[in-house]
Structure 1
Amino acid sequence: MRRIVIGSVVVSGLLSAVIPLAAPASATSCHSPSCVPNVAQNVVAGMPCTPSPGFVFGFDAQKNTLICAASGVWMSTGPLVGEAANSLPCTTPGTTAQERVAGDEWEPKVYGVPLICTGPADWAHWTHFAPA
């Protein structure tokens, strides 16, 4: 009996590692800056802003991407390309994205966390972006 239980646990663990789980039906993709929620409009580089852990992106009048830095001012950053997930591959280092929800059952959930595409072009991935 013990071998059957252990064997089924091992097999189900291996299958879950090999067979990806489907995303929830409510999840939608956002691959455009226009679909990213809570982006401030008509911000000006160098002007004051209120730093927060999420929803820190803004566009200036020319639609260039800025981010509200921890120092409390808007600063230029790489282009906002949509929403992404931390640690997943990305295509253009230096571009930015917004994470839909960061955190899990052990960490508080935070919405709109900024991400930046880092690494060499052939191995780039999304990482949490903490602007200075």
Structure 2
Amino acid sequence: MKLMAAAAIAGGLVAAPMIGAGTASAIPNVCDGAGCVPYVSTEAQLGEFCKQNTRYNYGFDGSGNTLACNSKSTWISSPPLVGVRTLRSACDSTGVAQSPDGVPLVCKDGAWSADYWTMFYG
């Protein structure tokens, strides 16, 4: 009986630091403004070559306009990039966003939704 109690206490002592360490990244990263969006190309040029991916596909031209890399590996015009948002969070924007893990998002029916149209059909 004492052995079981000692094992339970030891398990609790090991688990407690793990629980505390896990809370640091429990809240998804969101931000307002295009300047805080990670992995945005700052050397994009409308109509020029780009490396098309399914994630992190936005860029800015020299004037600060938002561009997106399409399925033909060409930079095309895009609505303004408004920041990082989480999938299915509430929205009322006419711009585009990027999820914390790089998925392109568009505001549709009041919620941020994955939007691969540009990447595959644009």
Q: State how many pairs are aligned.
A: 94
Which structure has more helix as a fraction of its residues? 2
User: Percent of aligned pairs with the same residue?
Assistant: 33
What is the CA–CA distance in structure 2 between the aligned matches of 1:44 and 1:54, rounded to whole Å? 19
Structure 1 gap segments, 5+ residues each: 1-23, 101-110
RMSD: 1.4
Report what 1:30 is aligned to.
31
3-state DSSP class of the match of 2:105? strand
- Measured against aligned partners, the alpha-carbon deviations of 1:14-71 in whole angstroms (never above 9, x if no partner) come to xxxxxxxxxx533443112111111001311111111111110000111110111122
- Measured against aligned partners, the alpha-carbon deviations of 1:64-122 in whole angstroms (never above 9, x if no partner) come to 101111221111111111101112111213x111111xxxxxxxxxx311111123xxx
3-state DSSP class of the match of 2:103? strand
Report what 1:126 is aligned to.
112
Report what 2:84 is aligned to.
83
Check whether the contact 2:105–2:112 (CA below 8 A) recurs between aligned residues.
Answer: yes
Structure 2 gap segments, 5+ residues each: 1-22
* TM-score when normalising by structure 2: 0.70
Q: Which has the larger radius of gyration?
A: 2
